[in-house]
Structure 1
Amino acid sequence: MKKVVLMGVPHHNNLGDNAIALAEKEFIKDFFPEYDYYEISEETIDKCVYKVIDYIAKDSLIFLHGGGNFGDEYLYVEEGRRKVIELFPENTIILFPQTMFFSETKQGKEELEKSKKIYSKHKKLILLARESVSYELMKKEFPDNKVIQTPDIVTYLNKSDNETKREGLLFILRNDVERVTTDEQTEYVEKIAKKYFSKIDYKDIARGAPILAKDREQKLDEMFSRCRHAQLIITDRLHGMIFAAITSTPCIALKSYNHKITSSKDNFKHLGYIRYIEDVKDVEEQIKYLLNTKFEPYDNEFAKKRFIKVIKEEIKIE
């Protein structure tokens, strides 16, 4: 039986990355049910990839985990991708939807050149960009590879439940190098929120113990449940916004340090309950709007149709 191998899945604690892995697996199972499915983790790819070379035939499909690590910020992940691309020159390799962000530093420019040199040699490598800025960057920097724009793969999931009783506000905020919201801005948003909500919860979706593959779905179900029980989510995380979208939870998205949110928000412009603001001074107006407007629940058909077209028409994998 043919094999499909998903390489670079996380075992760390970031629920956004784990949601990507869950959606990737569901996508693969839907589109390639006749293939045997295997995963290799991001943490072990450096050693494991050499051990599996003899077990991956030329007709095996290789998928590379998507997300926001295509660049020099998380360099060990990019180095693992390069290794896979070099070791399997005759396999079809598909990079699940990514945000591309190589910094303008000396290191960023050098690492981009390394990736361009390796990627350009692989004639069956397909790059998926999850928003328009990355799409244009990939087309510019990787002209020898096929580049396709899609939404983030997590939009493939639908975790809505219209029967759930909602109460209160859920903050999903960053506390890492990508945070741009200042303490003063956060305090202002909290002050405004307290005028409208008596119950306010906080969740850091990149904190806690590592998540093993066997626990991934359970941990994510717990997170999706928290989202479904909230009247409103305020977040500066892309997957905070996406979790809100797929659970039909009204959301105010704050800007992030790169184009992850600003460019990705276009994928959700048909969802009236997802609102993006550049200035925290606009938060009260959006809270009032979202609390007083009725919205249609999330429908993932737009994402499914896009990925069907990618596989059947643009990549043409039967």
Structure 2
Amino acid sequence: MLKNIAKSFLNVLMNITTFLSLLKFGFNKSSIPRIILCNTPTHGNIGDQAIALAELEFLKKNFKKIKLIEITEDEWKYQKDRILKRIHKNDVIVIHGGGYIGTLWRNECNTAIEIITLLPENNKIIFPQSTYYGDWNVLEHDKNSFSSAQKLWFCARDESTFNFVIDKLKINKKNVFLVSDIVTTFDWNKKNIKYKKRNEVLLVLRKDVEKTREENFEGKVEMLLQNEKYKYNNLDMFQPYYINLFRKHIVLNRLKKFAKAKFVITDRLHGMYFSAITNTNCFAIDNVSGKVCGGYKWLANSRGVNYFESEDDLLEYIQNIEERYVSYNYKFLDKNFDEVVELMDNLLNAEEE
């Protein structure tokens, strides 16, 4: 009963907020170009929500004078036709990044393709993405959509994706950028608070379709940690409710938990990145799409982040853990986005002339 009431309340709340989203565009019909950030998440994946926060921070920092409008996945779903009427052809469309291009997270991928298809006259930039296709028929369908799209640029967040979108999705190489996941640039601790490390290990492990580890892996890890006298806690990176109203609070709360941990064991890309940006030692293994391995290459010079090719290698290391001092520089990867900033600046200014 209570669950049904809560669900009904959240549905009403969602409909109200999606309707209010139309007010973001205002009533001014000026042709001055705006940045429209589309397809940001309303689901409970905290890594994806951190990406959205980092994207907003990035766009506000680099384009202070440009009006920025965020359109969530639900706003697009429920108000698509009305939103389309309010987008000018000289607005620059930024499509939310992540790891959903392909077959793993099909709803988000379909929305991105729909945005590209329905806004052919707009300049469109897909922010840092990973790809994974488990069905070649779906790949063929998506290739037709991506390769035929005009005014489209794609940011790949690892070398495998960079090569894949050029070779398989047939996006022109000159329109593809190789950059890191944008969370690596997220300045989450603006007050530079020093968090005291606890004697606690965080286990940040997947429970979804991207999981590849053996069923007994988690039990083995817990047993080893107990033998080594470590306290540990399983930390979920997913909230099972409508998250956007509390997005910043929830993401920052998770980051603080990482900042206080002694070290982190994870098979999540953002488990690894949250560790890096909170100056926490991390021991990572890969997931089904290979994005942890691909993402690790951006942090290979960070002495506190360790990537293991196999579960056995990680288990062996736990018995002889070497903790290292970690000091992550938020400016380290900013320059990777210089070409993206230059492109967007040119697109925005070109429309003004």
Counterpart position of 1:293: 324
Greater Cα offset, 89-98 or 46-55: 46-55
Distance 1:111 1:315, change over 3 A: farther
Secondary structure of the corresponding residue to residue 43 of structure 1: helix
Pick from 154, 162, 167: which aligns with 2:183?
154
Distance 1:290 1:270, change over 3 A: farther
Pick from 333, 346, 351: which aligns with 1:303?
333
**Kept after mapping to 1: 8 A contact 2:128/2:180:** yes
Tell me how far apart the structure 1 counterparts of residues 264 and 288 of structure 2 sit (CA, whole Å). Answer: 19
Counterpart position of 1:189: 221
Tell me how far apart the structure 2 counterparts of residues 271 and 78 of structure 1 sit (CA, whole Å). Answer: 32
Residue 311 of structure 1 and its aligned partner are, at CA, apart by 2.1
Counterpart position of 2:234: 202
Code of the residue aligned with 1:306 in structure 2: it is N
Counterpart position of 1:121: 148
Counterpart position of 2:282: 251
Long gaps (5+) in structure 2: 1-31
Code of the residue aligned with 2:163 in structure 1: it is E
The percentage of counterpart residues that share the same residue type is 29
Give the structure-1-normalised TM-score: 0.91
**Kept after mapping to 2: 8 A contact 1:169/1:197:** no
Q: Do structure 1's residue 241 and structure 2's residue 265 form an aligned pair?
A: no
What do residues 246-274 of structure 1 show as CA deviations (whole Å, max 9, x unaligned)? 11110000221121112211111011111
Pick from 138, 141, 149: which aligns with 2:165?
138
Residue 181 of structure 1 and its aligned partner are, at CA, apart by 1.4
Aligned-pair Cα RMSD in Å: 2.0
Pick from 68, 83, 90: which aligns with 1:59?
90
**Aligned pairs, number:** 312
Distance 1:131 1:85, change over 3 A: same
| 1:1-318 paired onto structure 2 within 5 Å | 1-103=32-134, 108-145=135-172, 146-159=175-188, 161=192, 163-167=194-198, 168-212=200-244, 214-283=245-314, 286-287=317-318, 291-295=322-326, 297-312=327-342, 316-317=346-347
Rg comparison, structure with higher value: 2
Residue 307 of structure 1 and its aligned partner are, at CA, apart by 0.9
Give the structure-2-normalised TM-score: 0.83
Residue 187 of structure 1 and its aligned partner are, at CA, apart by 1.4
Distance 1:292 1:67, change over 3 A: closer
Distance 1:173 1:292, change over 3 A: closer
Residue 290 of structure 1 and its aligned partner are, at CA, apart by 5.5
Residue 158 of structure 1 and its aligned partner are, at CA, apart by 3.3
